[in-house]
Chains A and B, each alone.
Chain A
């Protein structure tokens, strides 16, 4: 079989799934999600073919001599197809259980299939027009998915999402039109061939517009505002796809335009991407720490992880312009590897959050607690996801962040002074981000799953259905596999990276990575074995040296208070208080304490505490901007008074002026 037939079978499955979803029946409808799962397997196979094989034309459908539909794939598309299909497969399994009690089941299934198909179309588009049409289809379909619940919150989030994504698309269109104007070709291949001859300022303009446009979709700060609103509003299987792979199409766009099509650029391109990445990663995780809504927390972590991915890609661009091709390859592998990893673990975490919300009917972590006992599998998988996102071995986040660190620290060997300064700073940002992420997931996991139930809903929580657990299990196993066998991923990536940077990057075997420049090596399998041996040894030591003791079970020590209750637990706000204090310059926290007394100052009737942080970008960037626009709009509105006579007057004045000045 060749990639084309895999792709057509896959696409056929999606279309079938979409059409059948619209057939009005309810019983067993959620089983239709087996179709996208099947399609995902086909696409994964096609993606593997593309990742290792020659660039292939999949489908071309010319409309005129200049424009037409063109779908083609190369190694880079292949890699993104793999990332999309891996997540699609598990999310489809998960959706069988998750959507079975949903209200708009048919519409959901239809949009679900269309959404994934449009993402595949984006990463396989071969020319400008096809890309833009696929891109807009993806945006519109995801807008409908965000607003599928049709309540006020999701309508508001959807509107913000639609506005932001269209601003982004406007920038992308400008950048594409510039490319078209200067190359005379609408195909990416044709543009790539003539890009070397463009004037530098034009290239830089294209680069800037592309980064802003695609950055809006990827959710880089300060263009991230839609992300923490739209992702929580969508149903969890959709937020998993949006956060896992849809925002990655923004990364794909940046790599495709800034690295692939435009080729080697000046150093400041890479530095710009690097700085954006560093800012996004630190601020993303800082805002995530302050969230008590589990899905918003995860959404802010997506901002953070996009930042980490951009650190790798920016470093790669910087090294490439400095002529350090092997380092550029290492950094690009790091960025793309993290793209795949983030798709897997963030997909897993959103699915976990979805299960928790399904069971407890709340998004607020302060209403959860003690879920580990009620939902052991979900808890375990959420823990795996949390450990992966905190970049702890032996899971996958560790490998990609290790690679990013290596490439950033190697920036010292660069000839340019700027990159000598910038890359260690990027490394420092990554280190801070990692530590804060760990703190954040201790909070997310600890507050939601450990301790005592904080609400009646949490007490009554039940484990999710089999298919939901299966969907999460696939991703949890992948977290481990991608973490232990990095050689598999780097070998999938190396053709793409070789074609983009002209170097292979780290030498690798199944579970072994080696970077020549630093002589740094990593073997996650060895780490896993060491961890297993060490824990076994410790247990054995305790068992042997400690001897046999009688175990007795009792309640936690409660300082003599008669009964422990859930309100005595650490709350999410309390846990992050130290961080809120350290970073108060960034958070600008406001808090309000209202105490009413029976007899001042000793007898208190009630204490009401409320605290919030200032959303910096919303307040100082978006609000002034919308204010200005509204003011102008208000002025312009005076013209439209509603008076018919005034409108006719405009026509008369225009006519008379035309008569006077036109003749």
Chain B
């Protein structure tokens, strides 16, 4: 089994899958698709952790994989979908720049990350590609936050960044202690719930979930 995984470089494939789902975020127009992409991204992350756990035989990584699956793969998507439904109006993403340009810029970001992290002390561990991929996912998450108007897309961008961070930490340390993983996941769950409530409130107060309207708050 282990040989089989190594022979087909399953780890690299899953990592690339994570990167591709992040890049694909740029191409989707509907909020529902974005949430679905995030779900796929989280499942891939979870399965990656599980496989690495199997490869090196660490029990606490199984727990991390299970937790990731439950929170990021199930709870958060359900919650996000409910928010999207509550927003009612258009389910369009409304980006500032068109999809082609935004895909191009994501590509450039990935290239920059690969170029700048190809040498150095970090290139080690179970797969030398995982770190680059994780950093690229973080940047793409941030980029999504910048280019999307709606408050809910900000939350999804943030979640992508978090997945990227998780992956980066995981690739360097083979998973943090379980208690820290638990804390981070719980934090994120709370964070997203609060952000969701905010998004609904913003929608209610400004009769739009467009974050551009927030500039009038500046003194």
**A residues at B contact (CB < 8 Å):** 640-645, 648-649, 651-652, 655-656, 659-660, 662-663
Contact = CB atoms under 8 A, between A and B. Distances in A.
Contacts of B112: 656, 659-660
Q: Please classify the interface of chain B as helix (H, G, I), strand (E, B), loop, or mixed, using the class held by over half of its residues.
A: helix
B211 A645 contact: yes
A134 to B, nearest CB: 36
Contacts of A651: 142
22 contacts: A640-B218, A641-B215, A642-B215, A643-B214, A643-B215, A644-B211, A644-B214, A645-B145, A648-B142, A648-B145, A652-B139, A652-B142, A655-B138, A655-B142, A659-B113, A660-B112, A660-B115, A660-B116, A662-B116, A663-B116, A663-B117, A663-B119
B159 interface: no
A648 B155 CA distance: 13
Given A644-B214, A649-B146, A660-B115, 7 more contacts: A642-B215, A644-B154, A648-B142, A659-B112, A660-B116, A663-B119, A663-B120
A662 B212 CA distance: 33
Contacts of B138: 655
A652 B145 CA distance: 10
Nearest to A660: B116
Contacts of A652: 139, 142-143, 146
A648 B211 CA distance: 12
B205 interface: no
B4 interface: no
A655 B96 contact: no
B217 interface: yes
Contacts of A662: 116
Contact of A655 (B115, B120, B139, B216): B139
Interface in B110-138: 112-113, 115-117, 119-120, 135, 138
A605 to B, nearest CB: 48
A125 to B, nearest CB: 40
B109 interface: yes
Q: Which of A645, A656, A659 has the most CB of B within 10 A?
A: A645
A653 to B, nearest CB: 10
A656 B138 CA distance: 11
The 7 closest A-B pairs by CB, nearest first: A642-B218, A642-B215, A663-B116, A648-B146, A659-B116, A652-B142, A649-B146
B135 A659 contact: yes
Contacts of A642: 214-218
B71 interface: no
Contacts of A643: 211-212, 214-215
A642 B120 CA distance: 38
B208 interface: no
Contacts of A641: 215, 218
A655 to B, nearest CB: 6
B147 interface: yes
Contact of B147 (A645, A656, A659): A645
A655 B154 CA distance: 18
Contacts of A659: 112-113, 116-117, 135
Nearest to A658: B116
A649 B139 CA distance: 11
A642 B216 CA distance: 8
B118 to A, nearest CB: 9
Nearest to B118: A663
A644 B113 CA distance: 25
Interface in B180-219: 211-212, 214-218
Contacts of B96: 645
Interface in B55-97: 96
B77 to A, nearest CB: 23
Contacts of B142: 648, 651-652, 655
Contacts of B145: 645, 648
A656 B217 contact: no
B136 to A, nearest CB: 10
B108 to A, nearest CB: 9
